[in-house]
Amino acid sequence: MMDALGQAPTPALSAHASSCPSCGSDWADLQTGFAALGPATPQRTPPLAAEAVRQRIMQDLAPQRRLIRELPFDGLLSILFGTAAAFVSLLLLHSRGLLGGMGPLRLATAAVVWAGVFILAFWTLVRRWGVDPQLGHLVLGALAAAGLFLAGNHLLPLPTVVQWCSTRLGAGLGPLFFAIGTIYAAVPLFLFATSASRRWHPRPKRVLIAGGFFFVLVAPAIFLQCSYFTAGALLAWLLGAVAGSLAASAAGYWLGTRATTQG
């Protein structure tokens, strides 16, 4: 019976409603209630609001469309970019003599792991860009921060700095690896987190995820450079990098968000 509201009732329904007092009464009630609401008056969206929303969504769609069209073989491209990034990173370390004396098995394992991490980063970037542009930006930022870390480490290798500090200050290698490792990770990530929070307004959790991505990207470099040192030094540096990533993500997010609010 309800399905016939607002439409011509079927002959069967009409026949039944006329012969059954209970259904007839219900049907009359419903028809009267339905009709009493009057015609639905159409509303038009205010033109400015309609256009603002249209433009906002079209702007959001435009870069996606270009990216998808330009990068049709995302898996292949991710492998290409990831392998190239790992190769360049190894070349940077090698040019500084930081890979000397390392066993071929250890080197090969680290190279494969590093390439895998880079491939994952690029794949996330390319695949998720269209679906979740903000995540794409964050992964791109983490990659840029990792690049900055490697460039900084190339210009001023961390093990060299640690040894210099140890000789001058007489401090233990473990604490020095932790402290300097924290600074080396914190500086690029702080720059990235501040600028990302200002430009893309991500949620804090996402900035921390990007910080984690950054750590995973630089961890192989730390592992490779610590071949001359003890396991304690390696652990101290890794912990320093984790601490730097977390602290810089949080501080950069806070500063970037504060700057946006004040602006």
Residues lying near another protein in the complex (CB under 8 A) are found at 2-3, 5-6, 26, 29-30, 32-34, 36-38, 40-46, 49-50, 52-54, 56-58, 60-62, 64-65, 68, 130-131
Question: Quick one: which of 186, 208, 184, 213 has its CA closest to 197?
Answer: 208
Which residue, 118 or 129, has its beta carbon nearer to another protein?
129
**In whole angstroms, how close is the CB of 143 to another protein at the nearest point?**
23
Q: Report residue 157 as tokens.
A: 């290798």
Which residue, 9 or 130, has its beta carbon nearer to another protein?
130
**In whole angstroms, how close is the CB of 59 to another protein at the nearest point?**
10
Which residue, 56 or 203, has its beta carbon nearer to another protein?
56
**In whole angstroms, how close is the CB of 159 to another protein at the nearest point?**
45
Q: In this structure, are residues 189 and 252 in contact, taking their beta carbons and an 8 Å threshold?
A: yes
Q: Report residue 48 as tokens.
A: 């400015």
**In whole angstroms, how close is the CB of 207 to another protein at the nearest point?**
19
Which residue, 8 or 58, has its beta carbon nearer to another protein?
58
Which residue, 54 or 199, has its beta carbon nearer to another protein?
54
C-alpha 254, offset from chain centre: 17
Q: List phi, psi (to 5°) of 132.
A: -140, 85
Which residue, 123 or 215, has its beta carbon nearer to another protein?
123
29-41 b/e with 16+ CB inside 10 Å = b?
Answer: eeeeeeeeeeeee
The burial of 16, by beta-carbon neighbours within 10 Å (0-12 exposed, 13-18 middle, 19 or more buried), is given as: middle
In whole angstroms, give the CA distance from residue 13 to residue 87.
Answer: 77
Q: In this structure, are residues 248 and 187 in contact, taking their beta carbons and an 8 Å threshold?
A: yes
**In whole angstroms, how close is the CB of 69 to another protein at the nearest point?**
10
**In whole angstroms, how close is the CB of 231 to another protein at the nearest point?**
45
Which residue, 130 or 204, has its beta carbon nearer to another protein?
130
**In whole angstroms, how close is the CB of 47 to another protein at the nearest point?**
11
Q: In this structure, are residues 177 and 236 in contact, taking their beta carbons and an 8 Å threshold?
A: yes
In whole angstroms, give the CA distance from residue 83 to residue 216.
Answer: 16
